[in-house]
Amino acid sequence: MAAAAGEEPRPEEFVYGEEDFVLQAAGWGDEPGSAPSRFDRALLEGWADRMERGFFRYRLGPLPTRVLPGPLRLLARLNVQRGAERRPPQPVRSLRQPFDPAAFNFTRIRPGEVLLRLRRAGGGPAAPDPLLVAINVSPLERGHVLLLPEPARGLPQALTAPVLRAGLEAALLSAHPGFRLGFNSLGGCASVNHLHLHGFYLDRPLPVEAAPARPLRPPCGLGLLLRGVPAPAFLFYAAGPADLEAVSRDVWRAAEHLADTGLAYNVFITRGDPPEGAGTGAGRGLRVLLWARRPSFGAKASAAFTVALCELAGYLPLPAEPLYRDITEAEALRAIREHLLPEPQLLRLGEDLARLLAD
């Protein structure tokens, strides 16, 4: 029901079941079956409503876009207003920094910023955590939202298996091939120390959807490393709903191992080909990419742009027109890879994760 004049709009209770999962999202062309899902309609209609009502820090229009020349075809977009008007990131001092109720957190957002209360029908021990879907008031893209698991619990920004499982289910509720989700850890450019995922619609394919992966310890299938992408990533794959529990548990265990060894991390969820490539005839599932990185505490004055989940995946939201106009693929890759591990260390870490997940 629409809010009366002067009233805050109310979030929609969005109850879903496995029958709402879109097992094969639309392709990038005008293919049959490319209509938005019930979830897409609810999210995007609510998001557009809040834009019209002035809940955002700025009005997001079409963004200048260019594909950088080069084999990786990095996608650059100019978003000056986000760079200038977003809330400054909170200071982060450690990977295990506790939640601070005195700092900005998501219990302080306006009620009208919440679009949906996302909940699996039936509940029970197998159901993921319910999520609030709230607008990001400084959006990167159309439909940019935050997925929040019970903000009143005051959980710090450390990934949990239940919230990742809920995020994977949200990915399957969308019929759009470019609905992506992700997570930035503390030390991995998280800007608020309160547990949340990002979700947004990006209207372009990215190389991380299709690049093949190879096992780190042949012939064992554990420990897949994605190469031929802007930043090498550990790849986890869910062919369908039956795989979500195991994938969310494995990614969480791997992320905890990284944090225990003093490393930050970023996670990216996208529709994508099976690890061995598109020629298997199995269709597309969900790819979950996990990047290990050296932690970054405090802003670096020399940094041309922030390197978080989007940049690692090959999507560069850039804050200044000269940077957007002039940046080359080589310059972007140098900025991205400055935060990553040397290859020998990455390979050793991959072998450690393969052993961990085999137990």
Which residues are the active-site residues? 196
Question: Considering only CA atoms, which of 176, 196, 199, 197 is closest in space to residue 271?
Answer: 176
C-alpha distances in angstroms, 345 versus 235, 288, 341?
Answer: 17, 21, 6
User: What's the one-letter identity of residue 224?
Assistant: L
DSSP 3-state of 49: helix
Determine the residue type at 137. V
Residue for token pair 């990455």: 346
- The one-letter code for the residue type at 338 is E
CA atoms within 13 Å, Cβ hemisphere of 111: 7
Rg (CA), the chain: 19
Hey, what are 59's tokens? Answer: 């009005």
Torsion of CA 286, 256, 246, 284, to 10 degrees: 10
Residue 16 is inside which H or E element, if any?
strand 12-16
Cα distance between residue 105 and residue 75, in whole Å: 31
